[in-house]
């Protein structure tokens, strides 16, 4: 690193320095123009010291700036990104050189035996100190270092590239070496994310592009919920390669019995067919269906012949009543968002019609800019049915304050103000995904009544109001338990803006639907008035996903408490058992059991309040991920496209040793020198003070020595 210093004057002319020097000389001349009692040589020394001190002091009054310039060289970054998914290990090609590789006489091949990790690690040593090499591996996300395990259950090349780009943004990225088979089962096309890199890609083509004899289940489309006694359809995408003339035997097994069989004639070497299967939901609960294709002789792999799906069979839908005073675009958003979960059915009614309905049939009442009166108010207060208040421009705030004690609004006027959603990290009543929280906080503002908001101590706030760039303590969306009845309060309208913005940006409504779904699940969870409840975040978890369970304990007054410990035992069908202790979260409990082996588990949780013991039980399933076995033919066309669009090349595994030479010869990959300019006031430099002190002290010392002081 190189530093240069210079004094700049800003808007002041440099001639003022000459004036300061003349001032110092004049001051010294006035002081020492008369003869002194000691030798003249000391007189000249004192003259010089005083002139210099006055010059420096006068010069500092001009407030000059010191410009410091530093030059920081940054070596080019070479980022090595290695695919660690199962497909690389399962469908490996025999070592071979490309035609270009055979024609070259100066090929340096990777170590014999196909040590991919060792070959990629050798790039760092070969490039030497002129390059900074960083190594990563990926499956569904980015991980540090290289790996030889190849155990990733999902592949998301696009997400890995995005995380890499975010990590090294604005740095001198010289090249990215991407070693993969080009197969991905999560995320978008990696070509689009690769274009965000302003650098050269060198791709290493793993896997085999030659189709082998293989029958497989490429995809299964199905609804995760069904209703008892109904038929539901499952769509199976079946594929077969190099198996022309064979018969594909497709079957479905439930509880050890064959429920569907179908024979399909394979009439080409690249065969695909979407097969609809009709199944019956004849038992309540989470049902397991195993879809399989019988293997044929000399098949490449039988791991991709089987797929297991889980369908939650429900006895009946829970009904939600949405009451409104006037037409609002939010109503349709709320209805469609809640009904995205097949467990719920939403009935929309005008406030004038609500009192004539069978209110006991509903598990939740949503009051959209309406406060119940008369018979409806009497039913709501006596039945303890969960209520979700949604405020807006038509809300009567005084009636709202009287209807509940959770949130109070003191209106400053009848105006509305724009408020953004600010997530509260401490919220623990239920869990929203991080991606949904991030989306919701970036959506357009809602319109909330203008005024001062206060909330009760037991109010759990999920989102606070953010007015412009100012974070407030005002609740935007919050939940509470009031006298044994759960209450939700959304103090703003404009959910339709969130839905439109999410679809425009992401092409879906996932965040809005998740927010509405989780809110309704929480509000209706205690409708059966159980004093001790334990429930998993979902019935089926993917392999490698953290298992989250929640627990709630109510006292005799139906108030949430979490004083006693809550224990839970999980037992898999294989016989393995796991024991955990819940942690306290807010007023309830939560457990992150981490990742568990693939299996079907039953659990029993227990706690004790005084002499009374409470127990709760349930089931959950860890589903195996077979995504990596669904494709066996590598996609080298994708890798070649990524390399060419950036000016790089695609190489075979045995050519990894040539990558260092290719990088050295690339004139665009070079050290970049960054210039950093910094300005500071000269008066802030400490040694200037000590210089002035030294000049004046030296003058005083000479005068003292000669008896002039």
Task: Return the pLDDT at 108.
Answer: 40
Question: What is the structure's pLDDT at 52?
Answer: 87
Residue 697: predicted pLDDT: 85
Residue limits of CATH 2.60.40.1930 in the chain = 532-623
Q: Sorting pLDDT into bands at 50, 70 and 90, what band is 259? A: very high
Residue with tokens 């309830």: 588
- Residue 191 pLDDT more than 90? yes
Coil, strand or helix at 626: coil
CB 553 within 8 A of CB 589: yes
pTM above 0.85, yes or no: no
CATH (residue range 76-209+633-670): 3.40.50.410
User: Starting at the edge strand that comes first in sequence, how are the strands of the sheet with 364-368 ordered?
Assistant: 344-350, 318-324, 364-368, 387-390, 485-490, 470-482, 460-467, 407-423, 446-455
pLDDT at 68: 78
Give span(s): CATH 3.40.50.410, the chain.
76-209+633-670
Rounded CA-CA distance 98/104 in Å is 10
Nearest to 366, CA basis, from 330, 406, 405: 330
Task: Report pLDDT digits (tens) over 533-590.
Answer: 898 888 888 888 899 999 988 876 667 789 999 999 999 999 999 999 999 988 889 9
Nearest C-alpha neighbor of 108 from the set 663, 668, 666, 667: 663
Distance CA 524, CA 319 (A): 10
pLDDT at residue 35 is higher than 70: no
Give the pLDDT band (50/70/90) at residue 105: very low
Rounded mean pLDDT, 516-522:
88
Assigned CATH for 532-623: 2.60.40.1930
DSSP result, 58-70 = HHHHT--EEEEEE
Residue 147 has which token pair? 């790996």
Closest C-alpha to 237, from 272, 213, 186: 272
* pLDDT confidence bin for 73, thresholds 50/70/90: confident
- pLDDT for 217 beyond 60: yes
Burial of 512 (0-12, 13-18, 19+ CB in 10 A): buried
Highest mean pLDDT among 52-56, 325-329, 388-392, 689-693: 388-392
- pLDDT value of position 483: 72
**Neighbouring residues of 279: CB distance < 8 A, sequence distance ≥ 6:** 231, 232, 233, 234, 252, 254, 259, 260, 289, 311
The mean pLDDT of 377-399, rounded to a whole number, is 87
**What CA–CA distance (Å, rounded) separates 80 from 663?**
12
> Which of the two residues, 673 and 551, has the higher pLDDT score?
551
Task: Compute the distance between CA of residue 559 and CA of residue 526 in angstroms, rounded to an integer.
Answer: 11
> What is the average per-residue pLDDT within 51-59?
85
The residues of the chain that CATH labels 3.40.50.880 are: 318-524
Average pLDDT over residues 198-205: 95
CA distances from 136 to 148, 155, 175, 177, 646 (A): 12, 14, 14, 10, 20
d(CA 663, CA 127): 9
CATH topology of domain 214-314: Immunoglobulin-like (2.60.40)
Give the rounded percent of residues in the chain with a pLDDT score beyond 70: 92
> DSSP labels for 642-668?
HHHHTT--EE-GGGGGGHHHHHHH-TT
* Share of residues in the chain with pLDDT > 90 (%): 46
Q: At what angle do helices 434-442 and 495-506 cross, to 10 degrees?
A: 110
Q: What pLDDT is recorded for position 40? A: 66
- Compute the radius of gyration of the chain from its Cα atoms: 37
Tokens found for residue 255? 């509880």
> Domain spanning 318-524 has what CATH number?
3.40.50.880
Q: How many other C-beta atoms can be found within 10 angstroms of the C-beta atom of residue 606?
A: 17
Answer yes or no: is pLDDT of 315 > 90. Answer: no
Is residue 1 predicted with pLDDT exceeding 60? no
87: β partners: none
């Amino acid at each position: 690193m190189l530093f240069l210093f210079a004094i700049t004057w800003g808007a002041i002319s440099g001639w003022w320095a000459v004036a300061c020097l003349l001032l110092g000389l004049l001051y010294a001349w006035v002081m020492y123009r008369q003869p002194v009692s000691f030798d003249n040589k000391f007189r000249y020394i004192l003259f010089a010291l005083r002139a210099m001190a006055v010059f420096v002091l006068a010069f500092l009054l001009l407030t000059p700036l010191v410009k410091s310039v530093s030059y920081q060289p940054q070596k080019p970054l070479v980022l090595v990104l290695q695919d660690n998914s199962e497909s690389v290990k399962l469908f490996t090609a025999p070592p071979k050189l490309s035609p270009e590789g055979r024609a070259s006489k100066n090929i340096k091949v990777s170590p014999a035996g196909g040590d991919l990790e060792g070959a990629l690690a050798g790039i760092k040593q070969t490039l030497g100190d002129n390059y900074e090499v960083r190594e990563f591996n990926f499956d569904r996300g980015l991980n540090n270092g290289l790996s030889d395990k190849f155990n990733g259950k999902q592949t998301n090349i696009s997400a890995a590239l995005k995380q890499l780009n975010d990590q090294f943004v604005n740095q001198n990225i010289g090249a990215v070496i991407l070693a993969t088979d080009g197969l991905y089962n999560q995320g978008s096309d990696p070509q689009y994310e690769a274009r965000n890199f302003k650098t050269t890609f060198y791709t290493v083509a793993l896997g085999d592009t030659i189709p082998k004899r293989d029958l497989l289940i490429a995809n299964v489309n199905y609804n995760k919920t069904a209703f008892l006694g109904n038929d539901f359809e499952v769509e199976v995408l079946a594929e077969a390669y190099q198996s022309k003339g064979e018969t594909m035997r497709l079957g479905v097994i439930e509880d050890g019995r064959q429920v569907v069989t179908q024979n399909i004639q394979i009439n080409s070497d690249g065969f695909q067919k979407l097969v609809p299967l009709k199944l019956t939901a004849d038992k309540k609960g989470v049902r397991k269906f195993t879809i399989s294709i019988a293997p044929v002789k000399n098949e490449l792999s039988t791991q991709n012949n089987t797929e297991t799906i889980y369908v939650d069979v429900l006895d009946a839908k829970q009904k939600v009543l949405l009451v409104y005073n006037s037409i609002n675009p939010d109503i349709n958003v709320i209805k469609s968002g809640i009904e995205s979960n097949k467990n719920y059915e939403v009935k929309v009614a005008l406030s004038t019609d609500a009192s004539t309905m069978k209110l006991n049939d509903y598990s939740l009442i949503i009051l959209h800019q309406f406060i119940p009166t008369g018979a409806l108010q009497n039913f709501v207060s006596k039945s303890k049915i969960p209520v979700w208040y949604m405020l807006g421009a038509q809300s009567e705030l005084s009636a709202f304050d009287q209807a509940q004690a959770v949130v109070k609004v003191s209106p400053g006027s009848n105006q509305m103000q724009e408020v953004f959603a600010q997530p509260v990290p401490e919220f623990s009543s239920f869990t929203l995904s991080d991606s949904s929280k991030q989306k919701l906080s970036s959506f357009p503002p809602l319109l909330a009544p203008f005024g001062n908001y206060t909330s009760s101590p037991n109010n759990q706030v999920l989102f606070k109001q953010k007015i412009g760039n100012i974070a407030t303590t005002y609740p935007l969306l919050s939940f509470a338990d009031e006298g044994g009845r759960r209450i939700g309060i959304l103090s703003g309208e404009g959910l339709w803006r969130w839905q439109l913005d999410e679809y425009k940006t992401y092409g879906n409504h996932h965040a809005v639907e998740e927010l509405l779904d989780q809110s309704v699940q929480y509000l209706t969870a205690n409708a059966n008035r159980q004093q001790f409840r334990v429930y998993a975040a979902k019935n089926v978890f993917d392999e490698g996903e953290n298992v989250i369970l929640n627990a709630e304990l109510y006292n005799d007054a139906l108030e949430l408490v979490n004083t006693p410990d809550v224990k839970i035992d999980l037992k898999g069908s294989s016989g393995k058992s796991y024991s955990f202790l819940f942690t306290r979260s807010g007023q309830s409990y939560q457990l992150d059991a981490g990742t568990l082996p693939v299996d079907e588990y039953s659990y029993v949780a227990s706690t004790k309040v005084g002499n009374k013991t409470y127990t709760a039980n349930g089931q959950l399933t860890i589903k195996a991920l077979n995504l990596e076995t669904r494709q066996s033919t590598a996609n080298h066309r994708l890798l070649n496209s990524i390399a060419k669009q950036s000016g790089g090349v695609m190489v075979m595994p045995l050519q990894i040793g040539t990558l260092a030479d290719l990088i050295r010869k690339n004139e665009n990959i070079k050290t970049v020198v960054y210039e950093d300019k910094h300005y500071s006031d000269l008066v802030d430099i400490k040694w200037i003070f000590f210089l002035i002190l030294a000049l004046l002290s030296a003058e005083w010392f000479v005068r003292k020595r000669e008896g002039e002081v």
